[in-house]
């Protein structure tokens, strides 16, 4: 096969398209009739049928149409049929999430969600929910297991702090310096 021609499909897929075109040739009687139906010139069809060239998207689509089949059927690709979801936007969001490579457990968790209302969420909200679930599952996986033993001690208490003095400690109920003015209100000396 000449390089750069028909690189769209694998050799197996090209053979399937070529076999389907050969079958159509029997129905149309001549290469000229079939070529006209496919939108090609007869010499181009002849070269294709002899294996000199691979199929391009146009030829593949026309062969599938004339055979009365889908492109996927012609190429031998199986389609996975997803169960019908009552939330059509969620179905689209799940497809996007899977294409983005988001974790399947998070996708499955979102698929099990039932909304309180019958109203579907926008796709972006479903995608955000899947991403939030991924983060939640990652956080949960990274947390150490909790034991049923005594609770961890609380951190030691800190001295009283006055928020207006940028965390300066209080001394006997009065601020250390500044005559009671907050750092913002006190004039600065240079």
- Domains of the chain listed by start with CATH number: 11-75 (1.10.260.40), 88-142 (no CATH)
177 φ, ψ (degrees, to nearest 5): -150, 170
User: What pLDDT score does 157 carry?
Assistant: 47
- pLDDT mean by block of 10 residues, the chain; 190 residues: 53 89 90 92 92 86 87 74 69 82 84 80 87 89 64 49 46 49 52
Read off the pLDDT of residues 113-157 as tens digits, 9 standing for 90 and up. Answer: 877 777 888 888 888 888 899 999 888 888 766 555 555 554 554
Report how far residue 163's alpha carbon sits from residue 169's, in angstroms, rounded to the nearest whole number.
10
Rounded-to-integer distance, Cα 130 and Cα 138, Å:
12
pLDDT at 166: 45
pLDDT at 120: 84
Q: What's the pLDDT at 154?
A: 47
The Cα–Cα gap between 158 and 165 comes to: 16
Q: Report d(CA 90, CA 35) in Å as an integer.
A: 44
3-state SS track over the chain: CCCCCCCCCCHHHHHHHHHHHHHHHHHHCCHHHHHHHHCCCHHHHHHHHCCCCCCCHHHHHHHHHHHCCCHHHHHCCCCCCCCCCCCHHHHHHHHHHHHCCCCHHHHHHHHCCCCCCCCCCCHHHHHHHHHHHHHHHHHHHHCCCCCCCCCCCCCCCCCCEEHHHCCEEEECCEECCCCCCCCCCCCCCC
pLDDT at 46: 92
């Amino acid at each position: 096969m000449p390089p750069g021609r028909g690189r769209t499909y694998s050799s197996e897929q090209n053979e399937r398209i070529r076999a389907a075109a050969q079958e159509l040739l029997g129905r149309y009687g001549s290469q000229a009739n079939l070529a006209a139906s496919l939108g090609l010139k007869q010499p181009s069809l002849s070269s294709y049928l002899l294996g000199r060239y691979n199929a391009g998207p146009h030829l593949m689509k026309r062969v599938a149409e004339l055979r009365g089949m889908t492109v996927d059927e012609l190429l031998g690709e199986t389609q996975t049929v997803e169960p019908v979801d009552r939330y059509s936007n969620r179905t689209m969001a799940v497809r996007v999430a899977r294409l983005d490579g988001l974790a399947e457990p998070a996708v499955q968790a979102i698929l099990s969600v039932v909304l309180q209302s019958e109203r579907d969420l926008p796709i972006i909200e479903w995608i955000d929910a899947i991403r939030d679930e991924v983060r939640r599952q990652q956080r949960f996986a990274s947390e150490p297991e909790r034991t049923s033993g005594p609770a961890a001690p609380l951190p030691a208490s800190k001295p009283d702090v006055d928020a207006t003095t940028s965390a300066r400690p209080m001394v006997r109920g009065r601020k250390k310096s500044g005559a009671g003015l907050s750092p913002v209100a006190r004039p600065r000396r240079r």
